[in-house]
Amino acid sequence: MGERLRRSEVSSTEISYFDVGIVGLYIVATLLVGVYVGKRKKDTDDYFLAGRSLTWPVVGFSLYATNLSGASFIGLAGAGYSSGLAFYSHEWVPALVLIVFVVLFLPFYMRTGVTTLPEFLERRFDDRSRTVLSGFTIVTNVFIDCAIALYAGALVFQAFFPDMPLWLPILVMAVLTGVYTVFGGLKSVAVNDVIQAIVFIVGGAIVFFAALAAIPSWSAVQEAAPGGELGIFQPANDPEVPWPGVFTGLVVIGLYFWCTNQVIVQRTLGAKNLDHGRNGAIFGGFLKLTGIALMILPGCMALVLYPNLSNPDEAFPTLTLDLLPAGLRGVVLAAVLAGIMSTVAGVLNSASTLLTIDFVAKYRPHTSQRTLVAIGRATAAGVIAVATLWATQMHRFGTLFVYLQSVLSYLVPPIVAVFLFGLLWKRTTRQGAFWTMLCGLVVGAGGLLANEVYGLLEIQALYAAAILFAGSSLLLVAISLATEAPSDEEVRTYVWRPQLWRAESRELATKPWYVNYRLYAALLFVTTAAIVITFA
């Protein structure tokens, strides 16, 4: 089949004023909702945790939206075009990790009433671990998470508007997101996340069904896929998603991102109670599974329609501009903007919470609630300003942008080891936790430079994550055994025991079946397994 449309023939004029108007209306609606919801936020619980009032649908949509990026459409559709379904592992593995989160991690976070995850580490270990984790998270929030989201989003808009200067979309997205995040706190962010998640799903579904209607047959998609078939699992030597790496390194990264990362977990900490937090996280897991249809399969179908694209990342813009009429293109552009704004808003809220609670409130405990909220707002404004300036300069580093996207593989394994052993092994000591995180971060940073930047090593990033996690675990165990064990009274509240599972089982037996989170967790597991087996 010949190429229907060369991406180079698509010009920015194909985005009509009608499309731009739809995006404009979406922007206005987002700002109005954010400002309205954010009114009368006067204490830290209100501002940073939405008054712990979020219901499970809001939690689920917010988790999903915060994980999105405008670049998800471009990147995952491009991955579908070049690699088939291999990158779907980045969507289904988190669904299973969220089951671990609701069973193991979330109950301890919510029962202790913490506002930040570094605060939980301080209660389990000491203030040194809290400082290391909080400092690490703030730095990565500003210079990696937020900056990459803005930069990648700007690249997406340049795909639709080639003549647009890079700094313009970065500035516009930063200002728009900053307004409602700084003003309204987590409640504004979460409510807007619901809207943005729905817009994102609708935009992705429009492109999916348009592409499905355009292809000659499903067998043509399977034949066009790399190797002549659509399959999730790739050989062990695959440079991007080797199957052993899926079950090792990708799981480690997933545990960090969905179980120990302030940006994500803060949504569940703002839930009304443990049930709403758990059910919201499980709902978010179901939403993650939609990625195969919304983002990856459109790229697979684009390979049939446009087999000679010079760059796989052109797949999604080409589908949008070629198959959709004016108006629907605007909805898709709004969906792209929604993904960017959700990611940036989540990062801003996380960074302001960490700096205010883990540093200002900790070291100046008599600071008033109103002052802490003001500091949180100022911090969010400062973060978006610095991240914006950094994002406008990222093009100067060339392929370093690609390396930064792999940073989690090298830096987060020691953090995951400390949380896991801290929850599962009462013998884990404060010395073990602190030195494992500190040494692990230093070694991980060295590995990132040696492997990804200078090419001194040749280890696939997911394998590197697994190796670093194993090394961090061994170091943690060795130091813990060599130092004084904590008393049972010190750690009893923070360590999982079989008695907790049995007590919870007795409690659930007294409740109606439809409020039993274990039923929904089992359904999520079965659904995930069915999809993976179908496309294995």
Give the DSSP letter string of 26-93. Answer: HHHHHHHHHHHHTTT--SHHHHHHGGG-B-HHHHHHHHHHHH--HHHHHHHHHHHHHHTTGGGHHHHH
pLDDT of residue 166: 86
Distance CA 424, CA 420 (A): 6
**With 60 as the cut, is the pLDDT of residue 499 above it?**
yes
Classify residue 515: in a domain, yes or no: yes
Q: Measuring CA to CA, how many Å separate 436 from each of 8, 23, 250, 461?
A: 50, 47, 20, 20
* Residue 488: half-sphere exposure toward Cβ, Cα within 13 Å: 1
Classify residue 272: in a domain, yes or no: yes
Task: State the average pLDDT over residues 231-243.
Answer: 92
The count of other CB atoms within 10 Å of the CB of residue 336 is: 29
Classify residue 37: in a domain, yes or no: no
SS3 label, residue 311 = coil
Average pLDDT, whole number, for the chain? 89
Distance CA 75, CA 459 (A): 23
Give me the domain span that covers residue 272: 17-32+53-405+497-535
Task: State the average pLDDT over residues 406-411.
Answer: 90
> Which single residue is written with the structure tokens 């990648």?
152
Task: State the average pLDDT over residues 388-401.
Answer: 73
pLDDT of residue 403: 61
Report which of 441, 437, 266 is spatially closest to residue 349, judged by C-alpha positions.
266
Task: Name the residue type at position 42.
Answer: K
pLDDT of residue 243: 95
Q: Phi then psi for 271, rounded to 5 degrees?
A: -70, 155
Classify residue 473: in a domain, yes or no: no
CA 200 from chain centre, in angstroms, equals: 15
Q: Measuring CA to CA, how many Å separate 509 from each of 95, 205, 523?
A: 26, 39, 18
Q: Which residue has the higher pLDDT, 455 or 508?
A: 508
Classify residue 278: in a domain, yes or no: yes
Give the DSSP letter string of 451-496. Answer: IIIS------HHHHHHHHHHHHHHHHHHHHHHSPPPPHHHHGGGS-
Classify residue 341: in a domain, yes or no: yes
* Residue 511: half-sphere exposure toward Cβ, Cα within 13 Å: 13
Classify residue 11: in a domain, yes or no: no
Let me know: does 67 contact 148? Beta carbons within 8 Å: no
Task: Name the residue type at position 479.
Answer: I
pLDDT of residue 70: 61
Distance CA 419, CA 414 (A): 9
- Residue 528's pLDDT band, with cuts at 50, 70 and 90, is very high
**With 70 as the cut, is the pLDDT of residue 484 above it?**
yes
CB proximity list for 370: less than 8 A, separation 6 or greater: 42, 43
- Structure tokens that stand for 291 in this block: 């990625």
What total of structural domains would you count in the chain?
1
The region, left, alpha or beta by phi > 0 then psi within -120 to 50, assigned to residue 327 is left
**With 50 as the cut, is the pLDDT of residue 10 above it?**
no
Task: State the average pLDDT over residues 436-449.
Answer: 95
Q: Measuring CA to CA, how many Å separate 229 from each of 124, 211, 487?
A: 49, 18, 56
Give the DSSP letter string of 460-472. Answer: -HHHHHHHHHHHH
Q: Which residue has the higher pLDDT, 245 or 4?
A: 245
Look at 125-139, 177-191, 399-413 and tell me which has the smallest mean pLDDT.
399-413
Give the DSSP letter string of 502-521. Answer: HHHHHHHHTS-GGG-HHHHH
**With 70 as the cut, is the pLDDT of residue 340 above it?**
yes
**With 60 as the cut, is the pLDDT of residue 400 above it?**
no
Q: Indicate which CATH number applies to the domain containing 58.
A: 1.20.1730.10
DSSP 238: -
Distance CA 230, CA 358 (A): 47
The count of other CB atoms within 10 Å of the CB of residue 513 is: 7
Its sign, for the CA torsion 477, 480, 482, 487, is: negative
* Length of the chain in terms of residues written: 536
**What's the whole-model pTM score?**
0.92
Look at 158-167, 189-198, 357-366 and tell me which has the smallest mean pLDDT.
158-167
Report which of 416, 408, 528, 516 is spatially closest to residue 95, judged by C-alpha positions.
528
Classify residue 125: in a domain, yes or no: yes
Look at 242-251, 344-353, 424-433, 484-493 and tell me which has the smallest mean pLDDT.
344-353
